[in-house]
Chain A
Amino acid sequence: MTDLYKKLDLRGKSDARKLIEDARLYEYGVNHHLLYHRMDDLKKETGDEGIQEIVFGLNNNDFDHAFLSVVKANIETVLLGMRLVTDLADAKNALIYLPEGEEELGKVFADSGAEYEIRYGIIPVRSFPDHAAYHLETAYECGRMFLDKAAPKVTIFLKQGDSIGQGKRIPFGTKPAEAFSEELSEITDVKAFRFGTRLYTPDEFFDIEILPQCNIGNGVITVLTEKDCLLMEVEAELLKSRTESCGKCTFCREGLLQIQAFLTEVRLGKGSAENLDIIREIGEAMDFSSLCSIGQRGADFVLDSLEKYGSEYDAHMKKQCPAGLCFRKEKMYIDPAKCIGCGKCAGICEDKAIYGRPGYVYMLDQGFCTLCGKCREICPEQAIVLTEGALPKLPDRPVKVGKGTPGEGEKTEKKSKRIRRPEGTAAAKAAQEPAASGKSEPLFDLNKFLQEGENMKTYDTQVCVIAGGPAGLSAAVQAAEKGMKVIVIEKAAAVGGAANMGMGPLGIGTKYQKAQMVDITVEKAFNMFMEYTHYQVDARLVKRYFSQSASTIEWLESMGVEFEGAYRYFPQSECTWHIVKSGQKIGPRAASFMNKGLYNKALELGVQFLLETRGLHIVKEDGAVAAVLAETNSGEKIRVNCKAAVIATGGAGANPEMIYKETGYTFGKDMFNFAIPGITGDGLRMAWEAGVDHVPVRMEQAAMMVGVDGLPDSVSNIFFQPNLLVNAFGKRIMNEEYMQNTTFLSNVASNQKDRTTYVIVDDSIVRDYIRNGVDVVSMVRSDTDVSDFYDGIKMAKENNNEYPVVADSIEELAEKLGMDPEILQETIDEYNNFCDTTDTQFFKPGRFLKPIYQAPFYANKIAPGAYGTVGGIRINENCEACDSDFYPIPGLYAAGADACNLYNDSYMFLLPGNSMGFAVNTGRIAGMEAADYVAELEA
């Protein structure tokens, strides 16, 4: 290096440094520091180890690469600058990063500067925590300065459309607008300037001076004119950022995507002010939430455009694009008064925008239409109209030609084809034994436990609660509030159990219902419930549970749990579901905050939690509960001495053997229930082994759609709409309006051949939903937007999913579903006839009757499913676990799903929130009663 300094007429390093200090040379990257300050800071930061390497490159978010042309033309100068900066920073090595495809340039650098290692790719600054990264421009200006012995400048480019002109070297303190005045004078309709990452109005731009603190970004000025749609420009820029993003930082990866999605919605005229709020919220956070400039600067453009060109957004929300690019004024439609239903238009349409069936008025899908006009040429009746104005009111489904309204249809009922078992399959079918049969429940081996746990750790408490789901947590808090010393044993690493997935408990007669003027009283609910269950369940328990439920809501609120209000699950249900507030919109997992509230309350009350510990056995002495035996997940044995125990382990949803043995369903074959890990019937087994009466265990039925896992929600959403539902023979089986009651639907499926049903839609229905939203929304499927249905079908096909089934004809569909094509065709013909008239079969309302005629046809399987199991442990209204003589076992209580014998054969879906409501309320009851029992015992 000494030679180099000599060559530059310098005495050495200190001279060079002084020159840089005097010239106030800046680092041109995102840091805007004086170069020598930055070198000093980094030296300090890296400490004794020193700076390993200095990386030179372009900003990660420089997608134009304009500066590369300067580098290419001045390799020697850039190399000189790199050398000087490296030496002055006392760095050991230098490295240059070049964009992909610049291998040739890399070789030149490698040849000319043997000491520099050359690598390609965008600069992941975060990969070099111990390295300093510098802009290539800095190296160039540094070299330039030493060669010219003149003050540093910056290179700026002007970009119009896709072309970037030659860079101009502009001195500090001057205005780039003046430097480019000649070029700019030729452009008349300037709308905005983009300089670096920021957006400026023309007025702002003409005042900008090149100053050290102004961020020049990649040095490119982009001119946007009145012909450019700002939203489109921003969208394109976001897409570039997403393409270049490495995807590691949350905000860069997901934030850019969300901003783009919300922006696109606005651009297409579907957005609202809420979209803009979210864009701002994410965008503002991005500034400091990523590790490199792609994320940090990725939202600058959109934020500036929102601030300075808000009118463009407002216009788009009104379906107007100032540049005239986003909305077409012309539209085409089929006049229902003129259409004769010949179908020639559908035949010629290459965009698949026209569909229908002969004899009915054809439909034109605006979303697909490209206004090519071929249909207009072929239409013999001139029924296809091109207009610039608003569309007239058109039918939302194909109606019979000439009528305009549905009306006549065949009235005579045809005799249905009989079902016969195909020959030769009987024996084979009967020989198939369920896989799980005969396997007996492994019993708890007390001797082994005692042997292995000879010196086991012992805890002493008054009440021991087994499992920390909503029932267990409620029992623990309630007992602790009554002064009890409580230990909770929980198998998982966290509390909340299955309820962490749920949304909230039932309440009857709550302040929310009163405020919402909902007419539901304990009397009404009680009577509904008892009639629904044919008085087969414990009326005293039902009454106590319902009566307490309103106060339980307030009890939860006293712990800081908040509620959104009272809700219905689906239209026919009552408004009893109290959804927990999560600070956000309503959605799954809300109830986990209720559990959090209960847990914090329990801690406050001194409840001790043994997490990752599995309760195994109830020890009785003289017939009363004396202890609970448990095991940690590392195999450590534990004994919790207690006076009372509450079993609340949430049933046996994840125990296929037990499900088969208790209910006759085979998991994965004719039962697709939630198998939440850990919920394996421990409590049931423990209770039965402790002498509790073994009452029937039921599935908490909720129909399951097969094959939609991992697909967009729109797939299940469309298939759960009230369209044609058939059984394995292809026969229609219910008024599909009631499909929303998922318990009923599961019951229907349970009582069909192979415990299977299929829902069938055609492409016209799918398009209708995509265009107009779905027919029915529920709390769980609340999104009416199903626009990614086709993506989902594609994904299913790519992943070779068995379902959904897609077919080009009814015959093919029947074949794929293993049905007799004649029967299915007959069913569909009959159903389509109902669509034209009324459903005289099952009386489904007309608004849900959508004919099936347009290929492709889609079908999906709906099979019995369940949230888990309910019941098994006999309890009374005090939640005391009882033996088969109905006498309570002293000190033993049960709550939640383990003890939920309340529904008889079918979950009572008409009072939503029932499972969690039962859990929380019986948990409370068990906690109260256990506390009273212990207090009495000790008195």
Chain B
Amino acid sequence: MAVITIDGVRLEVPDRKNVLECALDAGIYIPHLCHHKDLPENGSCRLCIVEVEGNPNPQPSCRLRAESGMVITTKSERLRKLRELAMELLLSCHPEDCSTCPKYGNCEMQTMIQYIGASNTRMKHRTKGFRTEERNPLLVHDMNRCILCGRCVRACQNLRGADVLDYRKKDLETYIGTLHEKLLSDADCRFCGACAEVCPTGTIRYKLREQTKDFTREDQTVPCRGACPAHTDVPKYIRFVKEGNFDAAAAVIREKAPFPGTLGLICTHVCELSCKRADVNRAMSIRGIKRYAAEHDTGKYWRGKGKQLPDTGKKVCVVSAGPAGLTAAYYLRKQGHDVTVKEALPEAGGMMRYGIPAYRLPREIVASEVSVITDQGVKIEYNQRITEPKKLLAEYDAVLLAIGTHVGTKLPIQGSSLPGVILNIDFLRNCSMGLPTGIGERIIVLGGGNVAFDCARSAKRLGASEIHVACLEARDKMTADDEEIEQAQEEGIFVHPAQSFERITGTDHVTGVDFMNVLGFHFDENRRAITEKEEGSEHHIDADTVIFAVGQKPDLTEESGLELFRGAYVVCLPGKSATSTEGIFGAGDAVYGTKSVIQAIEAGREAASEIDRYLGGDGDITEKLAPEQNPDAWIGHIEGFGKLQRKEPEIDSVELRKDNFSLFDHGIGDCSICGEAERCLQCDLALRISRPRLWSDIQPRKEEVGA
């Protein structure tokens, strides 16, 4: 320890500690720009100068090391003038007009101008005339605003080890940039954002942060995590996968979702849609990485280790064992409640078991994930169809309706009641249960979503000879995943986008469908599609079976005695899971319509938390399973980083897959998985960088205020 005196205040500080930090920590503000807590010192801006007793000249406090007996003064007329002069010099080539700068109001430089009280009126002002570099993904460089504090260079070189940015010189003008003015991708930038994070001016900025002003800083910075309905900590598990610690990765996912294996196969992965890597070349294969982690998980960190509160004596009934219901049941059980799930069908899993075909999601995976839930003590009663949930309140303290959407819908067109017309859900359920499906040889599926392709590809595997998928949307507006559509076409399925369904033909049985080409369409206020059709484009496709895959709704009617919306949907109180019937809650597709498994899981979690509170608990269902992770800030230089290609999964050939229900997508292979994980930009590292300390953050000490 060293004893030093700053402005008359005696401080005990670690020997050789940076004097500027000593002062800031003690609530004594010294202005600074090039100094940043996480970076080595530059000592170039000269704002943090102080006077040290026994030394004739002021010295930058950032480069000064504490030694016992040091007597330091941070405020004097000479220091004030010198700081003002330094600031004037910095301003002499900084744009005068702050109002066009996106950093306005959140700019360290601006607060510094306010603190120091300098302007650029005395010096010769110049404009550097650099072109704003906007061609790079994610980051904007506006070197006209740069004050050469070099924080970004040190962040890039010393903190990250990426070695992309450095001081460069063009004629007599120094600037920060890449070697030979290369684009960031060509200079092997890691796009970690540290440079933008530490920039005290509007020089290096995140593009995204300007586009997503309504998001929280955290979600702007790590959009994958923000986009995931359950807020799964994506960068954290990707990093564990990169390190080969698959158990830890799986535990991270389990902290938010009890179905990692299922999600690894079929998650709609909104995280990938907002992945910042997509701007660089292609998004991370987040789902593929998740799948790999789940498949290589031994349960080391979570099996038998999560939270389990003592029994509360409260009883909860969850209606239906789909992802929303099972998730809610799982967490409610962990909160100590006695949970019974009543499932109408003979097995658990809901759409994961009866909707999504086995070639996409093998049943064993669902079964093993359900067994984790029953092992926790959740009871599941099968073949129990509940029509009047209110009656359950006689036995249970709370009831959660999570019945999903298990009734297919038909369009009211001519011929829709003919024999040979079947519904998506019925077809997929029968198919899953190994029951007769009633399809013939020539099939037309009406609809353009993933369910339509599930129907078509299942029909292919059942042996139908000719299969068509037709939908109203144009190809680029179809909601099915591109890979689904492309794989279906490879399997010989015909896809007809932009079609209006005129009528189903036939007298005693379906003989086909009449279509017209659609030029465009929109929905009116009654949610009816208004289409603009191409004149004279009527055409007919022969078929003996028509499958409607145009949507589904909950199996719920007036007799349930609940308040319903559009005839079948559960109405919850605004922003809540509770319904208007005391003790009855709703969650999942049955509340908001058909969405995704991950959305259902989040809905289940929210309902569990709310029901726990309703039953007297604290509603805190969070649990810590994964080990602590201290990511290395030094990410280093990787040649060609920006161009690293997304690893593709191994997919069986059409011949191998088209006539059976075996899983044909084998995910990303062992040799590629760490490589894929390495592509991650590790956006979360930016959040670990210390925030600047502004003069307004460091409140004057009491004795100064009084003086």
Bound CA–CA A713/B131 (angstroms): 16
Select the residue from A586, A596, A711 with max chain B CB neighbours within 10 A: A596
Chain A residues, CB < 8 A from B172: 242-243, 257
Q: Does B594 contact A (CB under 8 A)?
A: no
* Partner pick for B86 among A250, A451, A609, A712, CB 8 A cutoff: A250
Bound CA–CA A590/B117 (angstroms): 8
Name B359-381 residues within 8 Å CB distance of A.
none
**CB distance B96 to A246 under 8 Å?**
no
**CB distance B105 to A291 under 8 Å?**
no
Chain A residues, CB < 8 A from B174: 245-248, 253
Chain B residues, CB < 8 A from A288: 57-59
**CB distance B105 to A250 under 8 Å?**
no
Q: Does A588 contact B (CB under 8 A)?
A: yes
* Partner pick for A291 among B44, B104, B115, B216, CB 8 A cutoff: B44
Measured CB to CB, the nearest residue on chain B to A799 is B131
**CB distance A494 to B127 under 8 Å?**
no
Bound CA–CA A26/B113 (angstroms): 45
Select the residue from A501, A590, A710 with max chain B CB neighbours within 10 A: A710
Name A670-690 residues within 8 Å CB distance of B.
674-678, 680
**CB distance A501 to B90 under 8 Å?**
no
**CB distance B96 to A588 under 8 Å?**
yes
Q: Does A348 contact B (CB under 8 A)?
A: no
Bound CA–CA A467/B114 (angstroms): 18
**CB distance B124 to A599 under 8 Å?**
no
Q: Does B541 contact A (CB under 8 A)?
A: no
**CB distance B84 to A593 under 8 Å?**
no
**CB distance B148 to A250 under 8 Å?**
yes
Name A19-75 residues within 8 Å CB distance of B.
none
**CB distance A604 to B121 under 8 Å?**
no
Chain A residues, CB < 8 A from B84: 583-584
**CB distance B106 to A493 under 8 Å?**
yes
**CB distance A261 to B57 under 8 Å?**
no
**CB distance A677 to B96 under 8 Å?**
no
CB-CB under 8 A for A447 and B574, given A248-B42, A587-B119: yes
Bound CA–CA A711/B110 (angstroms): 21
**CB distance B104 to A676 under 8 Å?**
yes
CB-CB under 8 A for A589 and B127, given A288-B58, A494-B696, A676-B99: no
Residue interface mask B101-131, A partner, CB < 8 A = 1? 0111111001101110111111111110111
Chain B residues, CB < 8 A from A676: 99, 104-105
Residue interface mask A484-503, B partner, CB < 8 A = 1? 00000001111111101100
Measured CB to CB, the nearest residue on chain B to A247 is B174
**CB distance B218 to A635 under 8 Å?**
yes
**CB distance B119 to A589 under 8 Å?**
yes
CB-CB under 8 A for A709 and B148, given A247-B167, A635-B216: no
**CB distance A248 to B99 under 8 Å?**
no
Name B322-347 residues within 8 Å CB distance of A.
none
**CB distance A593 to B82 under 8 Å?**
no
Residue interface mask A792-813, B partner, CB < 8 A = 1? 1001001100000000000000
**CB distance A248 to B129 under 8 Å?**
no
Measured CB to CB, the nearest residue on chain A to B142 is A710
Bound CA–CA A253/B90 (angstroms): 10
Interface size on B, residues (CB 8 A): 72
Chain B residues, CB < 8 A from A481: none
Chain B residues, CB < 8 A from A246: 167, 169, 174
CB-CB under 8 A for A262 and B124, given A587-B119, A709-B100: yes
CB-CB under 8 A for A795 and B218, given A249-B44, A254-B90: no
Q: Does A558 contact B (CB under 8 A)?
A: no
* Partner pick for B43 among A291, A586, A590, A635, CB 8 A cutoff: A291
Residue interface mask A62-94, B partner, CB < 8 A = 1? 000000000000000000000000000000000
Q: Does B193 contact A (CB under 8 A)?
A: no
CB-CB under 8 A for A500 and B110, given A258-B123, A635-B218: yes
* Partner pick for A674 among B82, B100, B110, B167, CB 8 A cutoff: B100
Bound CA–CA A501/B98 (angstroms): 7
Bound CA–CA A492/B105 (angstroms): 5
Bound CA–CA A843/B148 (angstroms): 50
Q: Does B672 contact A (CB under 8 A)?
A: no
Name A117-153 residues within 8 Å CB distance of B.
126
CB-CB under 8 A for A451 and B575, given A253-B148, A588-B96, A710-B129: yes
Q: Does A826 contact B (CB under 8 A)?
A: no
Q: Does A289 contact B (CB under 8 A)?
A: yes
A195 → chain B, closest Cβ, in Å? Answer: 23
Q: Does A282 contact B (CB under 8 A)?
A: yes
Chain B residues, CB < 8 A from A493: 105-106, 111, 694, 696
Bound CA–CA A577/B219 (angstroms): 44
Q: Does B46 contact A (CB under 8 A)?
A: yes
Bound CA–CA A710/B146 (angstroms): 12
Bound CA–CA A676/B93 (angstroms): 21
CB-CB under 8 A for A795 and B129, given A493-B105, A595-B114, A603-B705: yes
**CB distance A584 to B118 under 8 Å?**
yes
Bound CA–CA A253/B89 (angstroms): 9
How many interface residues does chain A have, given as a range? 35 or more
Bound CA–CA A582/B484 (angstroms): 66
**CB distance A634 to B217 under 8 Å?**
yes
Bound CA–CA A587/B119 (angstroms): 7
Bound CA–CA A924/B363 (angstroms): 70
Bound CA–CA A582/B118 (angstroms): 7
Name A278-322 residues within 8 Å CB distance of B.
278, 281-282, 285, 287-289, 291
Measured CB to CB, the nearest residue on chain B to A583 is B117
Name B260-312 residues within 8 Å CB distance of A.
none
**CB distance A278 to B100 under 8 Å?**
no
Chain B residues, CB < 8 A from A500: 98, 104-105, 110, 114
Chain B residues, CB < 8 A from A675: 99-100
Q: Does A387 contact B (CB under 8 A)?
A: no
**CB distance A501 to B99 under 8 Å?**
yes
A587 → chain B, closest Cβ, in Å? Answer: 4
Chain B residues, CB < 8 A from A586: 121
Q: Does A633 contact B (CB under 8 A)?
A: yes
Chain A residues, CB < 8 A from B640: none
CB-CB under 8 A for A603 and B700, given A247-B174, A582-B118: yes
CB-CB under 8 A for A592 and B113, given A585-B119, A635-B216, A677-B103: yes
* Partner pick for A494 among B114, B218, B705, CB 8 A cutoff: B114
Bound CA–CA A788/B129 (angstroms): 12
B133 → chain A, closest Cβ, in Å? Answer: 11
B78 → chain A, closest Cβ, in Å? Answer: 10
Measured CB to CB, the nearest residue on chain B to A258 is B123
Bound CA–CA A678/B127 (angstroms): 27
**CB distance A258 to B92 under 8 Å?**
yes
Bound CA–CA A900/B147 (angstroms): 37
B92 → chain A, closest Cβ, in Å? Answer: 6
CB-CB under 8 A for A258 and B217, given A246-B174, A450-B575, A494-B694: no
**CB distance B694 to A258 under 8 Å?**
no
**CB distance B123 to A634 under 8 Å?**
no
Q: Does A730 contact B (CB under 8 A)?
A: no
Chain B residues, CB < 8 A from A258: 89, 92, 123-124
**CB distance B105 to A491 under 8 Å?**
yes
Q: Does B602 contact A (CB under 8 A)?
A: no
Beyond the given A250-B45, A497-B105, please list 10 additional residue pairs across the A-B interface where CB-CB is below 8 A. Answer: A246-B174, A248-B167, A248-B174, A249-B44, A250-B44, A250-B89, A288-B58, A451-B575, A498-B99, A709-B100
- Chain A: residues with CB nearer than 8 A to chain B? 126, 242-243, 245-251, 253-255, 257-258, 261-262, 278, 281-282, 285, 287-289, 291, 447-448, 450-452, 491-498, 500-501, 582-590, 592-593, 595-596, 599-600, 603-604, 609, 611, 633-635, 674-678, 680, 709-713, 788, 791-792, 795, 798-799
21 contacts between A and B (CB under 8 A): A126-B43, A248-B167, A249-B46, A250-B148, A253-B148, A255-B89, A285-B82, A289-B86, A451-B574, A494-B107, A494-B110, A582-B119, A585-B119, A588-B96, A604-B705, A677-B213, A678-B105, A709-B97, A711-B129, A788-B126, A798-B129
